[in-house]
Amino acid sequence: MQTNLRGRDFISDLDFSKEEVETVLDVAWDLKRKRALGIPHPYLRDKTLAMLFFYSSTRTRSSFEAGMAQLGGHAAFIESRTTQIHHGDTAKEIGEILGRYFDGIAIRHVDWGIGNKYITTVAQHSRVPVLNMQCDIYHPFQILADLMTIMEKKGRNLRGKRLVVSWAYAASYLKPVSVPQSLILQMPRFGMDIVLAHPPEFPLMPDIVEEAKSLARKYRVGFDIVDDMDAAFKDADIIYAKSWGPLVVTTDPEEGKRLQDKYKDWIVDARRMALAKEDAIYMHPLPADRDIEVTSEVLDGPQSVVYDEAENRLHVQKAVMALTMA
Ligand code: CP
């Protein structure tokens, strides 16, 4: 067990080693057990977290805020558009100043080509840990919760399990690529074979895919990229299918929508789930475009673990905050 996390930032999935992620999961299960038993666990009494949002959220905001309260501390919700950031406070100033008021700074900023750079700059100028609540490149807390959920459903030894990370159609907006990118970076370290499925116009960032391939080689797991949803689903243990925008190809909303609309048949339904193993689980970080990305039959069905997945955001985030901010 590696416990050297105090004072550390968590911005990319790979900022914590595999052993450090295992420590986070150990602590997360302990905190989950304590909450279930009603055992107080105020490891961050009198500590404060700044939660700075440039983008909307339901689960991330709620789970960080609830988590800080359960740890005995306080989380302050700060929206960029209602602060002087809107009028010119720079990332350096935010790091310097919020770092003096708070014991941790958590940021969500998903603007393409901007979000990760912003969070990294804040971290360079902050004297307290900076936590990435999702940027344009990574969504590391989502993937810690996903890993915890997969281990709860499939066991701690995941070697040989087939994880399908698939694009799915959505009509609402061009969603970030951070979830699939973080999945293909984090999961090879835990022994899963990765199948990445998407239409040709929806590639992930080439550097991220190369890094993921290199990790797959290092950890001796499979890594395949296909453009056929049915082929990807065959014999899968875990189906993780969600929409993302064609942002590597275009950031123009109209052109993006035109490309998305070519693939309306990329939906997770009962027929496709039947191609996977009988005991396969269905995962989605939510929000989902119901009956567009995934049918209600699957989303609400017995193979879906989306509510456990959402719950585990709370436990992994509390674990990381307790380990980095104590
Ligand atoms: N999964 C997730 O990050 O949800 P929110 O966008 O609601 O925070």
Q: Are 58 and 310 in contact (CB under 8 A)?
A: no
Q: How many Å lie between the centroid of ligand 1 and the Cα of residue 89?
A: 26
Query: Which pLDDT score, from 0 to 100, does residue 173 have?
Result: 86
Cβ neighbours, 10 Å, residue 154 = 17
Banded model confidence at residue 69, pLDDT cuts 50, 70, 90? very high
Averaged pLDDT, 236-255: 97
SS3 197: strand
30 vs 28: CA distance, rounded Å:
5
Banded model confidence at residue 279, pLDDT cuts 50, 70, 90? very high
Banded model confidence at residue 273, pLDDT cuts 50, 70, 90? very high
Q: Where are the domains of the chain?
A: 13-139+313-325, 142-309
CATH no. for 142-309: 3.40.50.1370
User: Which among 51, 53, 59 is the best mutation to test ligand 1's pocket, defined by most ligand atoms within 8 Å of the CB?
Assistant: 59
Q: How many Å lie between the centroid of ligand 1 and the Cα of residue 286?
A: 6
**Residues 98-157: tens digit of each pLDDT:** 999 999 999 999 999 999 999 999 999 999 999 999 999 999 999 999 999 999 999 999
Q: How many Å lie between the centroid of ligand 1 and the Cα of residue 26?
A: 23
**Residues 165-196: tens digit of each pLDDT:** 999 999 888 999 999 999 999 999 999 999 99
In this predicted structure, the answer to whether residue 272 has a pLDDT above a threshold of 90 is: yes
CATH no. for 13-139+313-325: 3.40.50.1370
Banded model confidence at residue 10, pLDDT cuts 50, 70, 90? very high
User: Which among 57, 146, 311, 317 is the best mutation to test ligand 1's pocket, defined by most ligand atoms within 8 Å of the CB?
Assistant: 57
Q: Are 312 and 143 in contact (CB under 8 A)?
A: no
Banded model confidence at residue 57, pLDDT cuts 50, 70, 90? very high
325 vs 92: CA distance, rounded Å:
21
